[in-house]
Chains A and B, each alone.
Chain A
């Protein structure tokens, strides 16, 4: 174990994001930089315009779909576990369990281990590799759901609730708002696992990413675009981006029951604010117990908190006898979950 001032000599937060001076690269920078290592494909982590990008093959495929084939000068893929030396740093990627291709970034420098986890979760997700605990001296964590009130329900009980409402409302469309990358595909697979084998209808904005998942070997079952529907889709399940829930777009559907799959749905005021009738607590982020367990497991003496409810988590880290520090990272969109 080392003393904390030492980390600051080779890795530290900057206006553009977390910077590793030992290897002269940024992790998930918020502005274009010469060299970036990207944890995962969500738009607040993966941006266009960098000189060189290192990420998992899946993250690169996702970036190319979202940002275009030429979204960076050079795209270099690296599978989980293998090590690349960049300057004076050894960099390896390890599953974060957040979405397809998501990685924690382990940077080793002169015997010190820093793990930058990006976004992560600990529970089973059929669309991606499970989180792998990586021992660290410095652990950089998110805190999207960094309050003790956030304990995500078991996925199976949430999908059961969805299917129960669907069975009980034959005349109405079940319209669920989902984040287009990760949540959408995970909810589809959760429904498949619960035995739902009817076509699932998609808002146009969700189609390309689902196609990519299918190409990458994740079987989502029968899908159909809403634009191709010849009825009002009464009794069917339709997925759309959250912004489309109360949009004019939804007027074509049969008196929709509006749902939203998100960790925020744990809190009633948040669900009501969105006018959600069917809140589903399904999240791709760690809930409070997962955050606390993970911090304990990494055995890091120092923990940096990038974004979310950092005040509560930093306080908790103190209660655990470790050093916590809030980085107040700019440009992270924690609401989009």
Chain B
């Protein structure tokens, strides 16, 4: 437990990606089995239990701390697990600190009534950091800034292999991952996951640059629409069908209508959309289905999900990834007409005969509510990652608008002494009132290091007020913001939310009062970004 607690503690304070990786790799190299496997499960969100911790912790604290003092402490700390960890009285006779594996075994076999007693004994054997780590471990919500992918990347260093090699078998394994560690350390063969619905690392596209465009041989490419949805992978094997996000998170539970109705053997690549009567709904509708653990009947009816397929990686027991795109596409078409899977269709190939033709189609993508075009080399195999020269994405042209800088916040990591996180606004003119700025978005990128230094200097010289890490600045700097789309939002004071905003140009030359008005942004709104009210 001590080593795991130290790991979590350091991770929670360490901002840098590489430093986080080093901490995790060191832990995986030195911690014993099966403890490290359970730690890996906690970091990747695959722990097999859930205890109703809030109630248990309240009961345990009641016996130890006056209720008023507990409430005041909880209000100050802002986190129940941390409050309990800090306020837990040091026992007169400390118990043995538990091992991670013992905690798991005990929790899996304990009855509900026994859990409180177990936690009590464990807390009595740990120091403040240990208590915090234990409670985070049991609740399963670590919140130390580590994604499952980052944990697997740290793990891959044990074998000096690519994290995608772990990804390929990950969903066929279960904690505490003894076979996986055995293989990574070279003392066991690669775990065999044939027949289970595992995730395969995705092939990603490069943005199409002007230089690429010039030398492009259109005949060598297949052209597809770039749908305004979310990339997913659908995998079937044995008795299961699973839906994975592009990062390999299993999101099946939130999409029962996609995984329940049929069985197949294979791995398919496609776009997740909300579709009603054969018409694709705006992206905002899809957002109502994302980032949810479960889904209600009403949401299912209101926002029906659909997968538009564009590639096949595995069909039956044949791995197709080494085959050229054109062949995989044919096999996908054949599979589709044989299976007629519900709530799925094929992404059509776009016919175009010349580069002019292509450019003309691209120009119309915004009006057609497409995100742009995809160009896939017909001879390319399916390669994990973002290989050069195979797939291109040609996004619809960005919209731009002139905004005024309002607030700046210090960045993180290497940027922590620079004001690099920018909040900008547009003018609103109340009838009869003086124009005022309303914030419409935030941008963190789109400027180079030299511009960052200039920006930082300007912000420091024009600060009106400072609250913690945030400065408000006088209305004096115009930022030309590029963004992909605008949508209505009840969560923003301005009523509008921007997608993918970034700084396009810093308009040192432009007076702030000449920046755009809010109605200019409102004119390009498509769809409504509104949270669904669950019954």
Residues of A within 8 A of B (CB): 147-151, 153, 246-248, 250-251, 255, 258, 266-269, 271-273, 275-279, 309, 311-312, 315-316, 319
Q: List chain B residues, Cβ under 8 A from A147.
A: 69, 72-73, 76
Q: Is B78 a contact partner of A277 (Cβ separation < 8 A)?
A: no
Interface residues of B in 56-76 (CB under 8 A from A): 65-66, 68-70, 72-73, 76
Subset of 12 A-B contacts with CB under 8 Å: A148-B86, A246-B410, A248-B417, A266-B86, A268-B79, A271-B13, A272-B12, A275-B410, A278-B13, A312-B72, A315-B72, A316-B69
Instruction: Give Cα distance in the complex from A306 to B410, angstroms.
Output: 35
- Looking at the complex, which one of B82, B86, B410 makes contact with A151 (CB distance below 8 Å)? B86
- Looking at the complex, which one of A149, A246, A258, A278 makes contact with B87 (CB distance below 8 Å)? A149
- Looking at the complex, which one of B14, B68, B77, B416 makes contact with A269 (CB distance below 8 Å)? B77
Q: Closest residue of chain A to B74, judged by CB?
A: A149
B412 interfacial contact with A, CB 8 Å: yes
Interface residues of B in 364-423 (CB under 8 A from A): 410, 412, 414, 416-417
The bracket for how many chain B residues form the interface is: 20 to 34
Q: A232: shortest Cβ distance to chain B, in Å?
A: 14
Q: Is B414 a contact partner of A255 (Cβ separation < 8 A)?
A: yes
Q: Is A275 a contact partner of B469 (Cβ separation < 8 A)?
A: yes
Instruction: Give Cα distance in the complex from A336 to B77, angstroms.
Output: 19
Q: List chain A residues, Cβ under 8 A from B68.
A: 312, 315
Q: Closest residue of chain B to A148, judged by CB?
A: B87
B83 interfacial contact with A, CB 8 Å: yes
B94 interfacial contact with A, CB 8 Å: no
Q: List chain A residues, Cβ under 8 A from B433.
A: none
Q: Is B73 a contact partner of A250 (Cβ separation < 8 A)?
A: no
Instruction: Give Cα distance in the complex from A316 to B65, angstroms.
Output: 11
Q: Closest residue of chain B to A276, judged by CB?
A: B13
B358 interfacial contact with A, CB 8 Å: no
Across chains A and B, the number of contacting residue pairs, with CB separation under 8 Å, is 72
- Looking at the complex, which one of A267, A272, A315 makes contact with B77 (CB distance below 8 Å)? A267
Q: A267-B77, A319-B66 are in contact. Are A311 and B72 (CB under 8 A)?
A: yes
B128 interfacial contact with A, CB 8 Å: yes
B15 interfacial contact with A, CB 8 Å: yes
Q: A147-B72, A273-B468 are in contact. Are A268 and B82 (CB under 8 A)?
A: yes
Q: List chain B residues, Cβ under 8 A from A273.
A: 468-469
Residues of B within 8 A of A (CB): 12-15, 65-66, 68-70, 72-73, 76-79, 82-83, 86-87, 90, 128, 410, 412, 414, 416-417, 468-469
- Looking at the complex, which one of B12, B90, B416 makes contact with A275 (CB distance below 8 Å)? B416
Q: B24: shortest Cβ distance to chain A, in Å?
A: 15
Q: Is A275 a contact partner of B87 (Cβ separation < 8 A)?
A: no
Instruction: Give Cα distance in the complex from A273 to B70, angstroms.
Output: 23
Instruction: Give Cα distance in the complex from A275 to B78, angstroms.
Output: 17
Q: List chain A residues, Cβ under 8 A from B86.
A: 148-151, 266-267
Q: Is B410 a contact partner of A309 (Cβ separation < 8 A)?
A: no
A-B complex: 10 closest residue pairs judged by Cβ atoms: A149-B86, A148-B87, A312-B72, A149-B73, A149-B87, A147-B73, A277-B13, A315-B68, A246-B417, A275-B416
Q: Is B417 a contact partner of A251 (Cβ separation < 8 A)?
A: yes
Instruction: Give Cα distance in the complex from A50 to B69, angstroms.
Output: 39
Q: A148-B65, A269-B77, A277-B13 are in contact. Are A309 and B72 (CB under 8 A)?
A: yes
Q: List chain B residues, Cβ under 8 A from A149.
A: 73, 76-77, 83, 86-87
Instruction: Give Cα distance in the complex from A151 to B128, angstroms.
Output: 9
Q: Is B417 a contact partner of A279 (Cβ separation < 8 A)?
A: no
Q: List chain B residues, Cβ under 8 A from A150.
A: 86
- Looking at the complex, which one of B12, B69, B412, B416 makes contact with A148 (CB distance below 8 Å)? B69
- Looking at the complex, which one of A247, A266, A268, A309 makes contact with B12 (CB distance below 8 Å)? A268
Q: Is B15 a contact partner of A275 (Cβ separation < 8 A)?
A: yes
Q: Is B73 a contact partner of A247 (Cβ separation < 8 A)?
A: no
Instruction: Give Cα distance in the complex from A164 to B71, angstroms.
Output: 36
Q: List chain A residues, Cβ under 8 A from B15.
A: 275, 277
Among A148, A275, A279: residue with most chain B CB under 10 A? A148
Q: List chain B residues, Cβ under 8 A from A279.
A: 13
Q: Closest residue of chain B to A265, judged by CB?
A: B13
Q: List chain A residues, Cβ under 8 A from B69.
A: 147-148, 312, 315-316
Q: List chain A residues, Cβ under 8 A from B417.
A: 246-248, 250-251
Q: B216: shortest Cβ distance to chain A, in Å?
A: 42
Instruction: Give Cα distance in the complex from A150 to B72, angstroms.
Output: 12
Q: A255-B414, A271-B13, A316-B69 are in contact. List 18 more A-B contacts (CB 8 A).
A: A148-B69, A148-B86, A148-B87, A246-B416, A266-B86, A268-B82, A269-B78, A272-B12, A275-B416, A275-B469, A277-B13, A277-B14, A277-B15, A311-B72, A312-B68, A312-B72, A315-B72, A316-B66
Q: A187: shortest Cβ distance to chain B, in Å?
A: 19
Among B13, B79, B469: residue with most chain A CB under 10 A? B13
Q: A105: shortest Cβ distance to chain B, in Å?
A: 29
Q: A76: shortest Cβ distance to chain B, in Å?
A: 40
Q: B139: shortest Cβ distance to chain A, in Å?
A: 15
Q: List chain B residues, Cβ under 8 A from A312.
A: 68-69, 72-73
Q: B460: shortest Cβ distance to chain A, in Å?
A: 8
Q: List chain A residues, Cβ under 8 A from B77.
A: 149, 267, 269
Instruction: Give Cα distance in the complex from A276 to B468, angstroms.
Output: 13
Q: Closest residue of chain B to A269, judged by CB?
A: B78
Instruction: Give Cα distance in the complex from A65 to B493, angstroms.
Output: 50
Instruction: Give Cα distance in the complex from A268 to B15, angstroms.
Output: 14
Q: List chain A residues, Cβ under 8 A from B416.
A: 246, 258, 275
Q: B263: shortest Cβ distance to chain A, in Å?
A: 46
Q: List chain A residues, Cβ under 8 A from B12.
A: 268, 272
Q: List chain B residues, Cβ under 8 A from A250.
A: 417
Q: Closest residue of chain A to B76, judged by CB?
A: A147
Instruction: Give Cα distance in the complex from A247 to B456, angstroms.
Output: 11
Q: B3: shortest Cβ distance to chain A, in Å?
A: 14
Q: Is B469 a contact partner of A246 (Cβ separation < 8 A)?
A: yes
Q: List chain B residues, Cβ under 8 A from A278.
A: 13
Instruction: Give Cα distance in the complex from A248 to B457, angstroms.
Output: 10
Q: List chain A residues, Cβ under 8 A from B83.
A: 149
Q: Closest residue of chain A to B65, judged by CB?
A: A148
Q: List chain A residues, Cβ under 8 A from B72.
A: 147, 309, 311-312, 315
